[in-house]
Amino acid sequence: MELAYYSDYAVRLVNTEEPARNKDALTSVDAVRELFGTNASAARRATDADVTRFRSVRGRLRAVFTAADEGDETLAVDLLNSLLLEFPVSPQISGHDHRDEDDRPLWHMHLADHPSNATSGYAAIASMGLAFHLTEYGVDRLGLCEAAPCRNAYLDTSTNRSRRYCSDRCATRANVAAYRARKRLETSRSDSTGRTADASQESTTAAER
């Protein structure tokens, strides 16, 4: 498993909140456990106390995405480094799959956390995964959706660094809004041109009289 895979942990956590819509899905220990996905053993460590701790880490991770989205690379890196220092991990080789008929393990690099609680474990993996993504692809590959009021975090993996939205749904919504705005502008210009032409015609008629 590529270490950059763990960057999805960061996106998953950040997007549990939609500040502009005043929505927060991270309201219970069950919501915390869902963030771990198939990692059931890690999810079982979660307690009610982790809800508040997860929210705190979420705010710090969103700050990384915000700094990157605003083009402040140094701040994004500094914020992420502070998380890495606070929530350390260790690389570990794991062979849970097999690559051939000889039953030889298919070795992978994983991140081994040593958490005192569920939040520490999740934050460590999310931060390290995001760090790998940032150093591999660049700070400008961390973004916030431009389809207001969404502002969900996303990781741009496009070949031409062109991603601007967190999902196809937001991209479609933004395109529709832009189309409607153009049509309103065209209509406004047409009406204005029509009124100008009418006024000009009236002036000409008056002068001929």
Q: What is the pTM of this model?
A: 0.79
From the list 62, 65, 109, 63, the residue with the least C-alpha distance to 89 is 109
What distance in Å separates the CA atoms of residue 39 and residue 42, rounded to the nearest whole number? 6
Whose tokens are 């992978």? That residue is 108
Q: Which two tokens stand for residue 73?
A: 């690379």
- Asked if the model's pLDDT at residue 3 lies above 90, the reply is no
User: Residues 157-180: pLDDT tens digits?
Assistant: 888 888 999 999 999 988 887 777
What distance in Å separates the CA atoms of residue 17 and residue 61, rounded to the nearest whole number? 12
What distance in Å separates the CA atoms of residue 87 and residue 140, rounded to the nearest whole number? 24
pLDDT at 1: 44
User: Residues 31-84: pLDDT tens digits?
Assistant: 999 999 888 888 999 999 999 999 999 999 999 999 999 999 999 999 999 999
What distance in Å separates the CA atoms of residue 72 and residue 169, rounded to the nearest whole number? 28
